[in-house]
Chains A and B, each alone.
Chain A
Amino acid sequence: MTEIFGVPTQALMGQLMIGLVNGSFYAMLSLGLAVIFGMLNVVNFAHGAFYMMGAFFSWMLLNYFGVNYWWSLLLAPVGVALVGIVIEKTMLRWLYQLDHLYGLLLTFGIALIIEGIFRDQYGVSGQPYDLPEIFKGAFDLGFMMLPKYRAWVVVACLSVCLATWFVIERTRLGSYLRAGTENPKLAQAFGINVPLMVTLTYAFGVGLAGLAGVLAAPVYQVSPLMGSNIIIVVFAVVVIGGMGSILGAILTGLALGLIEGLTKVFYPEASATVVFVIMAIVLLIRPAGLFGREK
């Protein structure tokens, strides 16, 4: 068997693949956080809870209503987005004038409540979500086995991220969003309905988290804790990439997933902390993040 630096190629590739899958989720979640932070000035601590909610909605749709995976991909994120709209309209709206800290505290509280509700109903042990038939099995690439579902997750996440980037950077709607992010008061004085944009942005951001949750359901166990497990890493990703940078969020998410994967191969003890070590270094050298603009 071939080896790279004393590690079998199979194992290396396998870990890189897992890293890429994790990185895809990081990218999608940090993208939503970046968009929300840009427009609302709120650090959405409830993002992990919405991700978990997406996974649970998808599990509930399958187990209570017999709705299949494909419909879940559409319905669960829409459900999460609707919850997001209610929260934005009834609670977050009142905090925009205040310091970031208040939004962070409120969303942190919301995260605990959502997590608490699901914990109360389903306990902390995870529920399995069966893979759809079409994704069972793996492609044999010769040098490694590529599970079909993991390939799908990476393709789906990257497509959604790129589509989001395209809409924001290249379309009319995106120019409204960029203008609203840069100077909301002026954009509104020009006749753009900024309050509506803000609500839709929050709905879209948490909807992305919900979609990531649906995609993650068959990979990880559907558990009330899955959100808080991933969200801390995602925040580190956002800090490294630079708050509010769209492309930064996507690229950093993928890169850190891969770095985590590599660390698991070469020095497993550090795999859980490597992201935070990188975060500390980046904060020392470029406090605005790798892709962020200094203010």
Chain B
Amino acid sequence: MHNNPILRISTKILFAPIILFGLYVQFHGDFGPGGGFQAGVIVASAFILYSLVFGIEAGKKLFPPNVNLILLALGGIIYGGVGIVSMILGDEFLAYNILGSSPQSGQHIGILLVEFGVGLTVSNVMIALFNAFASYDKIKEK
């Protein structure tokens, strides 16, 4: 697969639009279908496509596994962090009203951050799972 020019070039062309579409789904989830789960999967699919075509090592160079693991945990921390911030500000856990100047803007900020946390965790779990399965074989052979 690594030397097929059609796959290589179409991957290079598609990579950025896939991530752009993922970001659109992520941040347009308030207004249309979409949200963190779908967006996370779409963003992950861009990186997995890159790893499939250019090889797992190139994929790991593009997106280092240690960054991947940190971001994997960071998503959940962002989600829980929003809840704790709303608690510190004097409301209940994950009550977003207090985060903004008006209840509505508070809800907007809260939902946006929470969905971002979901997207971060989902995308990084998917990339990590793919990397784990794909590189398992190599170590077994050694």
A-B interaction: no
